Protein backbone atom coordinates (compact mmCIF):
# COMPACT_ATOMS: atom_id res chain seq x y z
CA UNK A 1 0.00 0.00 0.00
CA UNK A 2 2.86 2.39 0.81
CA UNK A 3 4.52 1.57 -2.52
CA UNK A 4 1.31 2.40 -4.38
CA UNK A 5 0.90 5.55 -2.31
CA UNK A 6 4.34 6.70 -3.47
CA UNK A 7 3.44 6.01 -7.09
CA UNK A 8 0.17 7.90 -6.88
CA UNK A 9 0.76 10.75 -4.43
CA UNK A 10 4.45 11.52 -4.81
CA UNK A 11 5.18 10.59 -8.44
CA UNK A 12 1.74 10.95 -10.03
CA UNK A 13 1.55 7.60 -11.82
CA UNK A 14 -1.86 6.27 -12.87
CA UNK A 15 -2.25 2.86 -11.24
CA UNK A 16 -4.59 -0.04 -11.92
CA UNK A 17 -4.46 -2.84 -9.36
CA UNK A 18 -5.58 -6.43 -9.88
CA UNK A 19 -6.48 -8.33 -6.75
CA UNK A 20 -5.40 -12.00 -6.86
CA UNK A 21 -7.79 -12.96 -4.05
CA UNK A 22 -11.03 -11.69 -2.53
CA UNK A 23 -10.28 -8.13 -1.47
CA UNK A 24 -11.52 -6.69 1.81
CA UNK A 25 -13.66 -3.53 1.70
CA UNK A 26 -11.07 -1.71 3.82
CA UNK A 27 -8.25 -2.41 1.37
CA UNK A 28 -10.44 -1.51 -1.61
CA UNK A 29 -11.40 1.77 0.07
CA UNK A 30 -7.74 2.61 0.69
CA UNK A 31 -6.77 1.88 -2.91
CA UNK A 32 -9.67 3.82 -4.35
CA UNK A 33 -8.93 6.64 -1.93
CA UNK A 34 -5.49 6.87 -3.53
CA UNK A 35 -7.13 7.18 -6.95
CA UNK A 36 -6.38 3.63 -8.08
CA UNK A 37 -8.61 1.65 -10.40
CA UNK A 38 -9.28 -1.63 -8.58
CA UNK A 39 -10.06 -4.66 -10.75
CA UNK A 40 -11.57 -7.79 -9.16
CA UNK A 41 -11.45 -11.26 -10.61
CA UNK A 42 -7.88 -12.27 -9.94
CA UNK A 43 -5.00 -12.60 -12.34
CA UNK A 44 -7.18 -13.61 -15.29
CA UNK A 45 -8.39 -10.00 -15.36
CA UNK A 46 -5.09 -9.14 -17.09
CA UNK A 47 -6.48 -10.43 -20.40
CA UNK A 48 -9.45 -8.10 -20.26
CA UNK A 49 -7.31 -5.15 -19.19
CA UNK A 50 -4.80 -5.64 -21.98
CA UNK A 51 -7.70 -5.52 -24.40
CA UNK A 52 -9.23 -2.40 -22.94
CA UNK A 53 -6.29 -0.23 -21.85
CA UNK A 54 -2.76 0.71 -22.81
CA UNK A 55 -0.03 0.55 -20.17
CA UNK A 56 3.53 1.79 -19.86
CA UNK A 57 4.43 -0.96 -17.40
CA UNK A 58 3.07 -4.04 -15.67
CA UNK A 59 4.43 -4.71 -12.16
CA UNK A 60 4.03 -8.31 -10.99
CA UNK A 61 4.23 -9.19 -7.32
CA UNK A 62 6.14 -12.50 -7.12
CA UNK A 63 7.84 -14.35 -9.96
CA UNK A 64 4.97 -16.86 -10.12
CA UNK A 65 2.64 -14.08 -11.28
CA UNK A 66 5.18 -12.88 -13.83
CA UNK A 67 5.46 -16.40 -15.25
CA UNK A 68 1.73 -16.31 -16.04
CA UNK A 69 1.45 -12.82 -17.52
CA UNK A 70 4.72 -12.30 -19.41
CA UNK A 71 3.53 -13.90 -22.66
CA UNK A 72 0.17 -12.10 -22.90
CA UNK A 73 1.76 -8.75 -21.99
CA UNK A 74 4.54 -9.15 -24.56
CA UNK A 75 2.06 -10.24 -27.22
CA UNK A 76 -0.53 -7.54 -26.64
CA UNK A 77 1.59 -4.57 -25.56
CA UNK A 78 5.23 -5.17 -26.54
CA UNK A 79 6.23 -1.65 -25.50
CA UNK A 80 5.16 -2.19 -21.87
CA UNK A 81 7.98 -2.83 -19.41
CA UNK A 82 7.45 -5.86 -17.18
CA UNK A 83 8.82 -5.43 -13.67
CA UNK A 84 8.87 -8.31 -11.18
CA UNK A 85 8.67 -7.42 -7.50
CA UNK A 86 10.53 -10.39 -6.02
CA UNK A 87 9.39 -9.56 -2.45
CA UNK A 88 12.30 -11.80 -1.54
CA UNK A 89 14.45 -13.97 -3.79
CA UNK A 90 12.64 -17.21 -3.12
CA UNK A 91 15.42 -19.62 -4.04
CA UNK A 92 17.73 -18.09 -1.44
CA UNK A 93 15.14 -18.65 1.27
CA UNK A 94 14.38 -22.17 0.11
CA UNK A 95 18.03 -23.20 -0.30
CA UNK A 96 18.72 -22.03 3.26
CA UNK A 97 15.66 -23.95 4.46
CA UNK A 98 16.81 -27.27 3.00
CA UNK A 99 19.20 -27.74 5.94
CA UNK A 100 16.22 -27.59 8.34
CA UNK A 101 14.06 -30.01 6.36
CA UNK A 102 11.68 -27.27 5.22
CA UNK A 103 12.16 -28.00 1.52
CA UNK A 104 13.31 -30.81 -0.75
CA UNK A 105 16.60 -29.95 -2.46
CA UNK A 106 15.53 -31.34 -5.85
CA UNK A 107 12.28 -29.37 -5.80
CA UNK A 108 14.15 -26.22 -4.83
CA UNK A 109 16.52 -26.65 -7.79
CA UNK A 110 13.58 -26.88 -10.19
CA UNK A 111 11.86 -23.82 -8.74
CA UNK A 112 15.13 -21.90 -8.80
CA UNK A 113 15.38 -22.34 -12.56
CA UNK A 114 11.76 -21.29 -13.02
CA UNK A 115 12.22 -18.24 -10.82
CA UNK A 116 15.43 -17.13 -12.52
CA UNK A 117 13.84 -17.66 -15.96
CA UNK A 118 11.01 -15.30 -15.01
CA UNK A 119 13.49 -12.67 -13.87
CA UNK A 120 15.54 -13.01 -17.06
CA UNK A 121 12.45 -12.63 -19.24
CA UNK A 122 11.41 -9.41 -17.49
CA UNK A 123 12.72 -5.88 -17.96
CA UNK A 124 13.64 -5.43 -14.32
CA UNK A 125 13.44 -7.01 -10.89
CA UNK A 126 12.69 -5.25 -7.62
CA UNK A 127 14.71 -6.58 -4.69
CA UNK A 128 14.59 -5.39 -1.10
CA UNK A 129 18.21 -5.97 -0.06
CA UNK A 130 21.70 -5.70 -1.43
CA UNK A 131 22.16 -9.40 -0.58
CA UNK A 132 19.30 -10.33 -2.92
CA UNK A 133 20.68 -8.04 -5.63
CA UNK A 134 24.11 -9.66 -5.43
CA UNK A 135 22.56 -13.12 -5.67
CA UNK A 136 20.74 -12.19 -8.89
CA UNK A 137 23.86 -10.56 -10.32
CA UNK A 138 25.59 -13.88 -9.67
CA UNK A 139 23.15 -15.93 -11.76
CA UNK A 140 23.52 -13.55 -14.73
CA UNK A 141 21.23 -12.67 -17.59
CA UNK A 142 19.01 -10.27 -15.62
CA UNK A 143 18.64 -6.89 -17.29
CA UNK A 144 18.20 -4.61 -14.30
CA UNK A 145 17.58 -4.75 -10.57
CA UNK A 146 16.14 -2.03 -8.34
CA UNK A 147 16.65 -2.04 -4.57
CA UNK A 148 13.35 -0.86 -3.12
CA UNK A 149 13.17 -1.92 0.54
CA UNK A 150 10.12 -2.27 2.72
CA UNK A 151 8.70 1.22 3.24
CA UNK A 152 8.18 2.11 6.89
CA UNK A 153 6.28 4.83 8.71
CA UNK A 154 7.84 5.79 12.02
CA UNK A 155 5.72 5.66 15.15
CA UNK A 156 6.45 7.31 18.52
CA UNK A 157 7.38 4.96 21.35
CA UNK A 158 5.24 5.81 24.39
CA UNK A 159 7.13 6.25 27.62
CA UNK A 160 5.70 3.84 30.17
CA UNK A 161 6.82 1.13 32.60
CA UNK A 162 6.91 -2.24 30.87
CA UNK A 163 6.56 -5.75 32.14
CA UNK A 164 8.97 -8.46 30.90
CA UNK A 165 6.88 -9.09 27.81
CA UNK A 166 8.24 -10.38 24.48
CA UNK A 167 6.51 -10.14 21.12
CA UNK A 168 6.67 -12.25 17.97
CA UNK A 169 4.72 -11.27 14.84
CA UNK A 170 4.50 -13.44 11.73
CA UNK A 171 2.00 -15.11 9.43
CA UNK A 172 2.28 -18.87 9.67
CA UNK A 173 1.66 -19.54 6.01
CA UNK A 174 5.35 -18.58 5.76
CA UNK A 175 7.52 -21.57 6.69
CA UNK A 176 10.42 -19.65 8.28
CA UNK A 177 7.99 -18.21 10.83
CA UNK A 178 6.80 -21.66 11.84
CA UNK A 179 10.34 -22.98 12.20
CA UNK A 180 11.48 -19.84 14.00
CA UNK A 181 8.81 -19.67 16.69
CA UNK A 182 8.99 -23.42 17.40
CA UNK A 183 12.78 -23.18 17.76
CA UNK A 184 12.46 -20.12 19.99
CA UNK A 185 9.85 -21.62 22.29
CA UNK A 186 11.64 -24.96 22.61
CA UNK A 187 15.27 -23.83 22.74
CA UNK A 188 15.48 -20.14 23.73
CA UNK A 189 12.45 -19.24 25.86
CA UNK A 190 13.20 -21.78 28.63
CA UNK A 191 16.66 -20.20 29.06
CA UNK A 192 15.03 -16.80 29.49
CA UNK A 193 12.42 -18.18 31.92
CA UNK A 194 15.15 -19.73 34.04
CA UNK A 195 16.58 -16.26 34.79
CA UNK A 196 13.32 -14.29 34.54
CA UNK A 197 10.34 -16.47 35.59
CA UNK A 198 7.87 -13.60 35.06
CA UNK A 199 8.65 -13.28 31.35
CA UNK A 200 5.74 -13.64 28.91
CA UNK A 201 5.63 -14.14 25.15
CA UNK A 202 2.80 -12.94 22.89
CA UNK A 203 2.67 -14.63 19.48
CA UNK A 204 0.68 -12.82 16.78
CA UNK A 205 -0.09 -14.38 13.41
CA UNK A 206 -2.83 -16.20 11.54
CA UNK A 207 -2.87 -19.66 10.00
CA UNK A 208 -0.98 -21.41 12.79
CA UNK A 209 -0.41 -25.14 12.08
CA UNK A 210 -0.67 -27.81 14.76
CA UNK A 211 2.98 -27.54 15.77
CA UNK A 212 2.53 -23.82 16.51
CA UNK A 213 -0.83 -24.26 18.25
CA UNK A 214 0.83 -26.79 20.53
CA UNK A 215 3.06 -24.01 21.86
CA UNK A 216 0.02 -22.48 23.55
CA UNK A 217 0.31 -25.19 26.16
CA UNK A 218 3.71 -23.94 27.29
CA UNK A 219 3.86 -21.75 30.36
CA UNK A 220 4.19 -18.05 29.60
CA UNK A 221 3.23 -18.35 25.90
CA UNK A 222 0.05 -16.74 24.55
CA UNK A 223 -1.10 -17.40 20.99
CA UNK A 224 -3.18 -14.39 19.91
CA UNK A 225 -3.80 -15.33 16.28
CA UNK A 226 -4.42 -12.57 13.77
CA UNK A 227 -5.09 -9.13 15.25
CA UNK A 228 -6.59 -6.04 13.57
CA UNK A 229 -3.76 -3.77 14.73
CA UNK A 230 -0.30 -4.63 16.08
CA UNK A 231 0.30 -1.16 17.54
CA UNK A 232 -0.91 -1.84 21.10
CA UNK A 233 1.29 -4.93 21.34
CA UNK A 234 4.34 -3.12 19.98
CA UNK A 235 3.82 -0.28 22.43
CA UNK A 236 3.44 -2.60 25.40
CA UNK A 237 6.18 -5.15 24.68
CA UNK A 238 9.64 -4.75 26.16
CA UNK A 239 11.40 -6.67 23.36
CA UNK A 240 10.49 -7.86 19.86
CA UNK A 241 11.96 -11.21 18.81
CA UNK A 242 12.50 -12.45 15.26
CA UNK A 243 14.16 -15.88 15.65
CA UNK A 244 14.50 -16.75 11.96
CA UNK A 245 16.90 -19.61 11.21
CA UNK A 246 16.55 -19.15 7.46
CA UNK A 247 14.92 -16.76 5.05
CA UNK A 248 15.44 -14.18 2.34
CA UNK A 249 14.83 -10.52 1.72
CA UNK A 250 13.99 -7.93 4.34
CA UNK A 251 11.84 -8.94 7.30
CA UNK A 252 8.66 -6.95 7.88
CA UNK A 253 8.45 -8.00 11.53
CA UNK A 254 11.89 -6.47 12.11
CA UNK A 255 11.31 -3.22 10.22
CA UNK A 256 7.89 -2.77 11.85
CA UNK A 257 9.36 -3.18 15.33
CA UNK A 258 12.31 -0.90 14.61
CA UNK A 259 10.01 1.77 13.19
CA UNK A 260 8.02 1.63 16.44
CA UNK A 261 11.15 2.12 18.54
CA UNK A 262 11.03 -1.30 20.19
CA UNK A 263 14.38 -3.06 20.77
CA UNK A 264 14.78 -6.15 18.59
CA UNK A 265 16.62 -9.41 19.02
CA UNK A 266 16.98 -11.38 15.81
CA UNK A 267 19.34 -13.61 13.85
CA UNK A 268 21.69 -12.88 10.98
CA UNK A 269 18.78 -13.62 8.62
CA UNK A 270 16.65 -11.01 10.36
CA UNK A 271 19.16 -8.23 9.82
CA UNK A 272 19.44 -8.62 6.05
CA UNK A 273 19.28 -5.37 4.11
CA UNK A 274 19.43 -3.11 7.15
CA UNK A 275 23.15 -2.62 7.62
CA UNK A 276 22.44 -2.70 11.35
CA UNK A 277 25.19 -3.02 13.95
CA UNK A 278 24.56 -5.62 16.65
CA UNK A 279 24.66 -4.02 20.06
CA UNK A 280 23.83 -0.60 18.65
CA UNK A 281 20.70 -0.80 16.49
CA UNK A 282 19.53 -4.25 17.63
CA UNK A 283 20.96 -7.50 18.94
CA UNK A 284 21.92 -10.26 16.50
CA UNK A 285 22.25 -13.77 17.92
CA UNK A 286 22.26 -17.14 16.17
CA UNK A 287 22.48 -19.61 19.07
CA UNK A 288 19.89 -20.23 21.79
CA UNK A 289 22.34 -19.15 24.48
CA UNK A 290 23.29 -15.86 22.78
CA UNK A 291 19.67 -15.12 21.90
CA UNK A 292 18.55 -15.61 25.51
CA UNK A 293 21.44 -13.49 26.85
CA UNK A 294 20.50 -10.60 24.57
CA UNK A 295 16.86 -10.71 25.69
CA UNK A 296 17.81 -10.86 29.36
CA UNK A 297 20.19 -7.94 28.94
CA UNK A 298 17.42 -5.77 27.48
CA UNK A 299 14.90 -6.84 30.11
CA UNK A 300 17.34 -6.02 32.85
CA UNK A 301 18.46 -2.64 31.51
CA UNK A 302 15.56 -0.34 30.52
CA UNK A 303 17.95 2.49 29.61
CA UNK A 304 19.79 0.24 27.15
CA UNK A 305 16.45 -0.91 25.74
CA UNK A 306 15.32 2.69 25.23
CA UNK A 307 18.56 3.82 23.60
CA UNK A 308 18.66 0.78 21.32
CA UNK A 309 15.03 1.37 20.35
CA UNK A 310 15.86 4.96 19.36
CA UNK A 311 18.98 3.93 17.43
CA UNK A 312 17.10 1.17 15.60
CA UNK A 313 14.33 3.59 14.72
CA UNK A 314 16.83 6.04 13.23
CA UNK A 315 18.55 3.25 11.30
CA UNK A 316 15.40 1.89 9.71
CA UNK A 317 14.36 5.41 8.76
CA UNK A 318 17.65 5.92 6.89
CA UNK A 319 17.20 2.67 4.98
CA UNK A 320 13.43 2.33 4.62
CA UNK A 321 12.07 5.83 5.12
CA UNK A 322 9.65 7.16 2.53
CA UNK A 323 11.99 9.87 1.19
CA UNK A 324 14.84 7.40 0.63
CA UNK A 325 12.60 4.88 -1.10
CA UNK A 326 10.91 7.62 -3.15
CA UNK A 327 14.16 8.34 -4.97
CA UNK A 328 14.58 4.66 -5.87
CA UNK A 329 10.97 4.27 -7.04
CA UNK A 330 11.26 7.45 -9.12
CA UNK A 331 14.38 6.05 -10.79
CA UNK A 332 12.51 2.89 -11.74
CA UNK A 333 9.51 4.80 -13.08
CA UNK A 334 11.83 7.08 -15.03
CA UNK A 335 12.78 4.11 -17.17
CA UNK A 336 9.21 3.50 -18.32
CA UNK A 337 8.45 4.50 -21.90
CA UNK A 338 5.19 6.39 -22.44
CA UNK A 339 2.61 4.14 -24.12
CA UNK A 340 2.12 4.86 -27.81
CA UNK A 341 -0.91 6.77 -29.04
CA UNK A 342 -2.84 6.80 -32.27
CA UNK A 343 -3.06 3.59 -34.24
CA UNK A 344 -0.72 1.75 -31.88
CA UNK A 345 -3.10 2.26 -28.98
CA UNK A 346 -5.66 0.10 -30.81
CA UNK A 347 -3.24 -2.83 -31.00
CA UNK A 348 -4.26 -4.52 -27.73
CA UNK A 349 -7.93 -4.51 -28.69
CA UNK A 350 -7.25 -5.85 -32.17
CA UNK A 351 -4.98 -8.61 -30.93
CA UNK A 352 -7.48 -9.81 -28.39
CA UNK A 353 -10.36 -9.64 -30.87
CA UNK A 354 -8.31 -11.87 -33.18
CA UNK A 355 -7.47 -14.14 -30.26
CA UNK A 356 -11.14 -14.61 -29.37
CA UNK A 357 -12.07 -15.13 -33.01
CA UNK A 358 -9.38 -17.78 -33.43
CA UNK A 359 -10.53 -19.63 -30.31
CA UNK A 360 -14.11 -19.68 -31.58
CA UNK A 361 -13.10 -20.86 -35.05
CA UNK A 362 -10.63 -23.45 -33.79
CA UNK A 363 -13.12 -24.70 -31.21
CA UNK A 364 -15.82 -25.07 -33.86
CA UNK A 365 -13.50 -26.99 -36.18
CA UNK A 366 -12.39 -29.36 -33.42
CA UNK A 367 -15.99 -30.09 -32.41
CA UNK A 368 -16.78 -31.11 -35.99
CA UNK A 369 -13.83 -33.47 -36.41
CA UNK A 370 -14.81 -37.15 -36.35
CA UNK A 371 -13.96 -39.04 -33.16
CA–CA gap between residue 53 and residue 59 (Å, rounded): 15
Three-class secondary structure of residue 58 per DSSP: strand
pLDDT tens by residue, 205-225: 999 999 999 999 999 999 999
Q: What class has domain 165-320?
A: alpha beta
Topology of the domain comprising 2-150+324-351 = Rossmann fold (3.40.50)
How does pLDDT run across 67-80, given as a tens digit for each residue?
A: 999 999 999 999 99
Cβ neighbours for 51, distance < 8 A, ≥ 6 positions apart: 76, 348, 349, 351, 352, 353
CATH 3.40.50.2000 domain residues, the chain:
2-150+324-351, 165-320
CA dist 79 and 7 (Å) reads 20
126-162 core/surface letters (b: 16 or more CB in 10 A; e: else): bbbbebbbebbeeeeebeebbbbbbbbebeebeeeeb
Phi, psi of 145 (to 5 degrees): -125, 150
User: What element of type H or E holds 7?
Assistant: none
pLDDT recorded at residue 343? 40
* Residue 21: predicted pLDDT: 67
Which residues in the chain land under pLDDT 50? 342-349, 352-353, 356-357, 363, 365-367
DSSP letter, residue 278: B
Per-residue model confidence (pLDDT) at position 361? 52
Q: What pLDDT, on a 0 to 100 scale, did the predictor assign at position 45? A: 84
Residues 6+ apart with CB under 8 A from 60: 66, 69, 82, 83, 84, 85, 122
Quote the pTM value: 0.86
pLDDT of res. 165: 98
Residue 346's pLDDT is what? 45
Inter-residue contact 167 to 254 (CB < 8 Å):
no
| pLDDT tens track for 94-105 | 999 999 999 999
Angle subtended at Cα 71 by Cα 68 and Cα 76, rounded to the nearest 5 degrees: 125
DSSP 288-332: HHHHHHHHHHHHH-HHHHHHHHHHHHHHHHHHH-HHHHHHHHHHH
Amino acid sequence: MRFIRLLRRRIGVDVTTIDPAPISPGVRDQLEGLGCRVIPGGINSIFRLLEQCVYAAVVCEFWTVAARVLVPVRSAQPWARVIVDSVDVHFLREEAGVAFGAYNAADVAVRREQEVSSYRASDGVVVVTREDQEALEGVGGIRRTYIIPIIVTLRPRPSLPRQPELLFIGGFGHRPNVDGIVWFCREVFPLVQRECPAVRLNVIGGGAPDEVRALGGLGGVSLLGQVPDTSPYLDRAAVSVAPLRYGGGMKGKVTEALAAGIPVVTTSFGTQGLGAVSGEHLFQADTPEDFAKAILRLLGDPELADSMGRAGRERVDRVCGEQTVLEQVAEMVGGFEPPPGGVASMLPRRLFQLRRLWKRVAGGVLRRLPG
